[in-house]
Amino acid sequence: MNKFIEEILNILKKDKRLFSKDDNKLLKGELISLISKDDEKLLELLASNKEIEKRFFKKIGKITIFQKENFLQLITMNEFLPDSFTAFEVNIGLSNNKKLISSQEDISLVFPHKDCILEGGQNKENTKREEIFYNTTLAPDEVDRLKEPKVLTNWKKFDSKGEHKITDVSLEDNLIIKGNNLMALYSLLPNYRNKIKLIYIDPPYNTGNDSFKYNDSFNHGTWLTFMKNRLEVARELLSDDGSIYMQLDHNEVHYGKVLMDEIFGRNNFQREIIWHKGNTFGYAASADNFVLAHDSILFYSKTSNKLFNKIYKSYSDEYIKKRFIHNDNDGKGPYRIQGKNQKQYLSDSKGLAMSDVWTIPVINVMAKEKLFDTQKPEALLQIIIEASTNKNDIVLDFMAGSGTTLAVAHKINRRYIGIEQMDYIHNLPEARLKRIIKGEQDGISKEVNWKGGGSFIYTELLEWNNKYIRDLESAKTKIDIKKIKAKIEKEAFYKYQIDTSKFDNKEFDKLSEKEQKEVLIDVLDMNHLYVNLDSINDATFAISKEDKELNKKFYNQK
């Protein structure tokens, strides 16, 4: 049982009204009734415990307010008085972590997991993974540990001369980081808080057919939790004049808009940009409906003091012929009349100011630069990056995918950080940036006169329990699972409540492959998916001297 829940139960035992005389079981209905009535005796009892007071009583001036709804949410969770999960898991001491959420399944902006932290730890694109929702009231210590900076390892630098070992790292370096993006974002905070000028993300669209395959009954709520956790820390990374662009389609754009309003402020909403993808063929065109031919890009600033470089397009010949129809033969060339009588000469005009509807064709499926099914054209990212940054500003994409954001930033002299947790980071963004350094001519290269050059550093969050989860997800047979189980027993960190002496191997062998994987993942302490920076000197993790030095430099530690 969770230690905090046990502490609450011990306090409640002091109120005889709350327990049956026959079997001394907690009368949950009576507890809810007394809480709902603001029973003075019960509230005084709860407030007498420092930990309960800290979590559920809020002081405003001289007034103390009991946060009734939060307490009721806790005691109505299955975790408070757990139902059976499986006989096996209960026997070894596992509480049902998957039930740390409200049973409410309504879809609204007060979504089911709004006060939870979702690790979002998929390692394989096609894997549907059961996620743990860390409730910030029930498990604050676990949430705090998740947010702590992680140890970085496997450092490499790539430039025009190839791959090098590195001895130094600074804010001037371009970075790509492999690992869980939530934990990587928190690892950036110590050095990059308020330093990122632009964030662009192309998150999972939650279509039911993409890689974000969660339980349908919590589909929207899960997606919103996943995004909320990451957007909150992303806002901390943005500079005061920074901007964020989030690209979505019709599946979640309206939910995404209200979520962004909440995090960045409705007054900081700038535009909904419509990306018209050009003519649509194939399946999309055959749908029994209007043909879906656009995505939306939600553009927010962090404050009203945003950096914005207005973008102009060249006039077409037809546009010039229709509008610049006057010429005084004074050597200044054709002009048009703006307003009553202000002459605007063609030679002085910057062009046509870009609207919030962009027609940019998607990448042809046969094109050599097509690396990824959802890859975005470089021309699309060029507009965004040039509009909201200047040279040497830092651009962040924490869902890097094929690396288009990083590729464009590299070609137009911006610094960048890309985060990707999937293994294709090596074959897509990493390999793509290596080609760009050598001078590849795809995308916008010719337009911006790209000749090659530059460099980037690759690094990874140091995995611990996460490596066993990855192995289990890939395991195909019970023999594979048995081998991984042996490693876990030798090396991994268990949850504190696990009683390994009751782990009956005969009973475990009777479980299906899916159930065996589920049990082994559940026994792992999720605080140790990656190695926290404060454990860098722990001999358990055998971290090299070189990694210690580079982490010290990265985190600017003395």
Lowest mean pLDDT among 64-73, 109-118, 182-191, 456-465: 109-118
- H helices, E strands: number in the chain: 20, 19
- The whole-angstrom separation of Cα 176 and Cα 231 is 19
- What does DSSP assign to residue 216? G
Q: Are the C-beta atoms of residues 119 and 529 closer than 8 Å to each other? A: yes
Closest CA to 199 of 163, 148, 243, 162: 243
Closest CA to 529 of 139, 97, 116, 122: 122
- The pLDDT, as a whole number, for residue 24 is 83
pLDDT at 351 over 90: yes
Q: Are the C-beta atoms of residues 317 and 297 closer than 8 Å to each other? A: no
3-state secondary structure of 122: coil
Closest CA to 264 of 291, 229, 231, 290: 231
Cβ-in-10-Å burial (0-12, 13-18, 19+) of 69 comes to exposed
Q: pLDDT band at 143, cuts 50/70/90?
A: confident
Q: Which two tokens stand for residue 177?
A: 């980081």
Instruction: Give mean pLDDT, residues 230-243.
Output: 97
pLDDT at 553 over 90: yes
Residue 395 host element (H or E): strand 394-397
Q: pLDDT band at 102, cuts 50/70/90?
A: very low
Q: Are the C-beta atoms of residues 200 and 242 closer than 8 Å to each other? A: no
- The whole-angstrom separation of Cα 75 and Cα 532 is 31
Residue 381 host element (H or E): helix 378-388
- The pLDDT, as a whole number, for residue 122 is 59
Strand partners, 244: 199, 300
DSSP 423-444: GGGIIIIIHHHHHHHTT---TT
Average pLDDT, the chain: 86
Identity at 246, one-letter amino acid code = M
Tell me the domains of the chain and their CATH numbers. Answer: 3-76 (no CATH), 116-311+354-461 (3.40.50.150), 317-352 (no CATH), 465-554 (no CATH)
- The pLDDT, as a whole number, for residue 274 is 98
pLDDT at 311 over 80: yes
- What does DSSP assign to residue 356? S
pTM over the 0.75 mark? yes
Q: Are the C-beta atoms of residues 119 and 146 closer than 8 Å to each other? A: yes
Cβ-in-10-Å burial (0-12, 13-18, 19+) of 297 comes to buried
3-state secondary structure of 10: helix
- The pLDDT, as a whole number, for residue 11 is 92
Instruction: Give mean pLDDT, residues 278-295.
Output: 80
Percent of the chain predicted with pLDDT > 90: 59
Query: pLDDT by residue (tens digit) across 337-347?
Result: 988 877 999 99
3-state secondary structure of 271: strand
CA distances (Å), origin 291, targets 15, 207, 253, 295, 506: 64, 16, 18, 12, 57
Query: pLDDT by residue (tens digit) across 315-330?
Result: 999 999 999 999 999 9
- The pLDDT, as a whole number, for residue 101 is 32
